[in-house]
Amino acid sequence: MKALKGIIISAAVSAIALPASASLIPIGILPSTGNGIGAVLTSVTFQNTGTESGCVSFSGVATITGPAACPTGFAGGNETTVAGNNIYSTADLGFSSTNDFRNLVLIFNGNEGGGPGQDITLTALGLSLYSSTGTRLITFTAPSLPVTYTALPGVGNAGFAFALDAAEAAQANALLAATTPTTRLRIGTEATATGANSGPETIQLTTVTNTGVGGGGGGTVPEPSTLLLVGSGLALAVGGVRRRRNC
């Protein structure tokens, strides 16, 4: 029951000063097949047996991975050496006055093969915003975690989706409004998972029209096969929770 509550209940939001931690809210499950690390905006790719953690941040010049890239609460150190660890700017996501943080979605893909015995527990997830000089401005985290998921095979836009709540999206948009084309925000991500035995796991970034959480307007709408709506996603997640409770 705790795992189910973690999927469908968001934490209360309060006004906080920057830098700070705030909320990423689970919004559903994407299809069970991926389209590759290089085909999407893959932010961090990490792999280990048992507990694994990966972080990506921005130095002001280049992408940083490993423990030095992690905000408080994340360990890092299991990032893969292959492609898949990148810093993206708000320009890479096409952000404008109508396509903004209300439409941003993080996708956690636990690439453990899927099926019985292939569960993975996401224990922590973060989204950090950096200035053009590498200063971390704010970190958003997911208070609903830990949650155990039945892992999905394949990487790239397949997995468990999170979005910013309205208050947090407004905070991010206030930072966005203060930037110019030459001082765009950079987006870093961080995650920790347990129960891993395959992988790699990835965090990808994408945008959708109105996540249903942040109240977004405009934005890029994925192909119909890309986004499985919340109802179907929760049904799959609930099924996985019930199976584990009956074991």
Average pLDDT on 88-110 reads: 85
Q: In percent, how much of the chain has pLDDT > 90?
A: 40
Question: Dihedrals φ, ψ of 236, to 5°?
Answer: -65, -45
Alpha helices (H) in the chain, listed in sequence order: 2-8, 166-177, 230-246
Q: Residue 230: CB partners within 8 Å, gap ≥ 6?
A: 27, 28, 212
Identify whether the C-beta of residue 222 lies closer than 8 Å to the C-beta of residue 123: no
How many domains is the chain partitioned into structurally? 1
Radius of gyration for the chain, computed over Cα atoms and rounded to the nearest angstrom: 17
Residue 216 C-alpha from the chain's centroid:
17
Asked whether residue 15 is domain-assigned, the answer is no
pTM of the model: 0.75
H or E element: which one contains 29? Answer: strand 21-29
Average pLDDT on 218-230 reads: 35
Average pLDDT on 97-119 reads: 77
pLDDT per residue as tens digits for the range 151-190: 666 565 467 889 999 999 999 999 998 888 888 999 999 9
pLDDT of residue 85: 92
Mean pLDDT check: name the lowest of 56-60, 100-104, 117-121.
Answer: 117-121
pLDDT of residue 135: 95
Q: Which domain holds residue 43?
A: 24-241
Of residues 160, 165, 169, the one with CA closest to residue 204: 160
Identify whether the C-beta of residue 213 lies closer than 8 Å to the C-beta of residue 163: yes
User: How does residue 230 score in pLDDT terms, banded at 50, 70 and 90?
Assistant: very low
User: Is residue 196 classed exposed, middle or buried when 0-12, 13-18 and 19+ CB atoms within 10 A define those classes?
Assistant: buried
pLDDT of residue 232: 41
Average pLDDT on 67-72 reads: 94
Asked whether residue 137 is domain-assigned, the answer is yes
Q: In percent, how much of the chain has pLDDT > 70?
A: 65
Asked whether residue 144 is domain-assigned, the answer is yes
pLDDT of residue 43: 93
Q: Rounded to whole angstroms, how far apart are CA atoms 10 and 17?
A: 20
Question: Dihedrals φ, ψ of 22, to 5°?
Answer: -150, -165
Decide which of 11 and 55 is more confident: 55
Asked if pLDDT for residue 206 goes beyond 80, the answer is yes
Asked whether residue 246 is domain-assigned, the answer is no
Q: Rounded to whole angstroms, how far apart are CA atoms 26 and 200?
A: 21
Quick one: tokens of 127?
Answer: 């989204």
First-to-last CA distance in the chain?
14
Asked whether residue 3 is domain-assigned, the answer is no
pLDDT of residue 117: 59
Asked whether residue 114 is domain-assigned, the answer is yes
pLDDT of residue 114: 53
Q: Rounded to whole angstroms, how far apart are CA atoms 244 and 247?
A: 5
pLDDT of residue 12: 24
Asked if pLDDT for residue 217 goes beyond 60, the answer is no
